[in-house]
Structure 1
Amino acid sequence: MGRYVMKRLLSAVPVLMIVGIIAFALSHLSGGDPARVVAGNDATTEQVEAIREQMGLNASLPNQLWTWFVNMLHGDLGYSYILNEKVTPTILSHVFPTLSVALFGELIALAIAIPLGVLAADKHGRLADKIVLAFATLTTSLPSFLAGLLLMILFVLQLKLLPASGFVYPSDDFAGYITHLILPAVSVATLQIALISRMSRSSMIDALGSDYIRTAAAKGLPRSKQLWGHAFKNSSIPILTIVGQSFGELIAGAIVVETVFNVPGIGQLVVNSILRRDYQMIQGIMIFVALVFIIVNLITDVLYAVIDPRIRERSF
């Protein structure tokens, strides 16, 4: 297992390098002079040149890229001259709110989508199945930011049950932490609910048509055990696949929703960095998001091997 994980981590290095090159190129092709942004519009040419020298912008682009790569491999994503802070600790200080929204949203999506998918498969072709499909279609066509605005109108303005915006750390107030997370998490969960419920339904329909399910039914096994003890267990690989692949979309949705609910996470940092033309911070965030994708895919692959012994035998 350890050797497999190490191989996957080493294979991620080229991915990070490609993402780094793209981030570096986009930052330098986007126009504008970072030194001028730092110095301000009233700065003299000499002051701007001094800042360019300090930022290392006078070096050739290959040298700048090489220096950035070497620093990145040591965990240093650069220095934000706009914020006068190192990029890595600044990003890490904004990670917890984003992960809270994404993980809470994932739990909500799984808690709703999997039972709906199993129900639709069990009632295939009947009214319950059609209702689940209609619900999945509705949530698919509902962007996370629009879902957030609609939820805000209902639960904040009309019912006055939940806070409209902000974020509370659990160490300060755990109840407040949960209540502030509900609306953003449900907003990002809408698309996940559609994807997971459809995949659960499709996988369960295939499983319920298998010989081992007919054998279990012939032996008088209760329907609930047929569904959850046999069919769902054998349908979990496709469901896990869609969860792993779409978690990145959930992170992206969380970044957008953070702006709607004023959550001080990665999304807010991205928006502010773009407005400030903080190129070093933008590059660092792109690398960080790519690393999150790699870690999620690695966890998904390891879970494959845990669930299915045949995959474990081939991989390890």
Structure 2
Amino acid sequence: MATTFETAPPLLDPPRPAPRGDALRSWKWSHRLAFLTCWACGLALCAVTAAIVIYMGVRGIQYLNPELLFTRPTPGLQQHTTGGILDPILGTIVLTIIGIAIAVPLAVASAVWLVEYGKPAPLARAVESGIEVVAGTPDIVIAIFGLAIFQLPILAPLSFTASGGGVFGRSFLAAGAMMSLIALPLVFGAAREGLMSIPTHAREASWALGKTRICTIRTILLPQIRANIATGAALGMGRIVGDTAVVVVLLGATLQLEPQGNVPILGNLRGTGSTLTSYVYGASPAGEGNAPQKAYAAAFVLLLIVLTLNAAVDFLGRRKENRA
């Protein structure tokens, strides 16, 4: 006896293969216009960026010289008597180090607690909301808040103090502490994203081997998000380097570094100074320094620092993708 097999009825509408290309001429005119508008916006942004880099590069290189980098600024009415930009460069480096050194531990610890614990839930939501509020707060508001805090007599050892005992609330420590609030949301966001991208089975495997939760965090999770933390730190440093409001309000924006006390390192941290951003403003035609050529040179140095940090972020991001 022959065996018969029932075949399935043919599909009424078989699936079509995906098109190999999508020709622009087959689009509607409205879609073509939207597509060309997107291209135009992207090219315009690239043109603006290129114009800024090229213009500042040409003007900066024109006036930049080794003597300008290694001499201290001095007050004067003519550019050839106003010295260099050594103190603003040192002030930028010191302020960035203080700010990021405070921001990274706080941000990473907050991200670890929210992602891995998150209890009690109301407190976790409050912490997350607080970080979002800090991220959206204008820099000048953070600066005024820091000035009110560091003018308290109990914090007098951390800032500039007058001979009569008055607390000015201005120092590298005060400015660095407020700068950390500017960088903290960026580091927090990068660390939290890294922790949330780690599969759950990685934690469960560690627990199955008898590791505690804190040991798992220290030996398994944190090493895997080093690239995320480094990316957030680089972005945070870029924000610190480019800020001016906190420098003017909490650092004094003095032309030279002015230590407070006789202790070498602590005296500098308790003293006032300036950064490249405040120097550029003061030396530009909008300020009172009357040294536009040196403002261009300092702006070019600042632009190089920002571009270097952006390149570091891009490198770390590509490195993370390659590892994944």
TM-score, normalization by structure 1: 0.63
Give 2:173's aligned residue: 182
Give 1:4's aligned residue: none
The answer as to whether partners of 1:237 and 1:304 remain within 8 angstroms in 2 is yes
The structure with the larger Rg is: 2
The answer as to whether partners of 1:19 and 1:287 remain within 8 angstroms in 2 is no
The answer as to whether partners of 1:155 and 1:162 remain within 8 angstroms in 2 is no
**1:203 CA drift (Å):** 1.9
Aligned residues: 240
1-side partners of 2:308 and 2:314: how far apart? 10
TM-score, normalization by structure 2: 0.61
Give 1:222's aligned residue: 212
The answer as to whether partners of 2:85 and 2:298 remain within 8 angstroms in 1 is yes
Give 2:146's aligned residue: 151
Which residues in structure 2 correspond to 1:230-245 (within 5 Å)?
230-245=220-235
Query: What secondary structure does 1:94 align onto?
Result: helix
Identity %: 13
The answer as to whether partners of 1:136 and 1:195 remain within 8 angstroms in 2 is no
Deviates more, 1:135-144 or 1:115-124: 135-144
1-side partners of 2:153 and 2:78: how far apart? 39
* Aligned-partner residue type, residue 133 of structure 1: E
The answer as to whether partners of 2:60 and 2:296 remain within 8 angstroms in 1 is no
The answer as to whether partners of 2:107 and 2:188 remain within 8 angstroms in 1 is yes
* Aligned-partner residue type, residue 134 of structure 1: S
2:108 corresponds to 1:96: no
More helix by share: 1
Query: What secondary structure does 1:275 align onto?
Result: coil
Aligned-CA RMSD value: 3.8
Give 2:55's aligned residue: 22
1-side partners of 2:200 and 2:63: how far apart? 50
Which residues in structure 2 correspond to 1:40-59 (within 5 Å)?
none
Q: Deviations over 1:8-28 (max 9, x none)?
A: xxxxxxxx985454338xxxx
2-side partners of 1:145 and 1:230: how far apart? 40
The answer as to whether partners of 1:155 and 1:161 remain within 8 angstroms in 2 is yes
2:299 corresponds to 1:286: yes
2-side partners of 1:70 and 1:296: how far apart? 20
The answer as to whether partners of 2:183 and 2:235 remain within 8 angstroms in 1 is no
Q: Deviations over 1:48-93 (max 9, x none)?
A: xxxxxxxxxxxxxxxxx6xx67756875879x99543389x61223
Change in CA separation of 1:165 and 1:270 when aligned onto 2, cut-off 3 Å: farther
2:122 corresponds to 1:127: yes
2-side partners of 1:17 and 1:142: how far apart? 30
Structure 1 unmatched ranges of 5 or more: 1-15, 25-64, 167-178, 312-316
Give 2:273's aligned residue: 264
The answer as to whether partners of 1:121 and 1:205 remain within 8 angstroms in 2 is yes
The answer as to whether partners of 2:63 and 2:293 remain within 8 angstroms in 1 is no
Give 1:45's aligned residue: none
| Bigger relative contact order, structure 1 or 2 (CA pairs below 8 A, ≥6 apart) | 1
**1:120 CA drift (Å):** 0.6
Give 1:118's aligned residue: 112
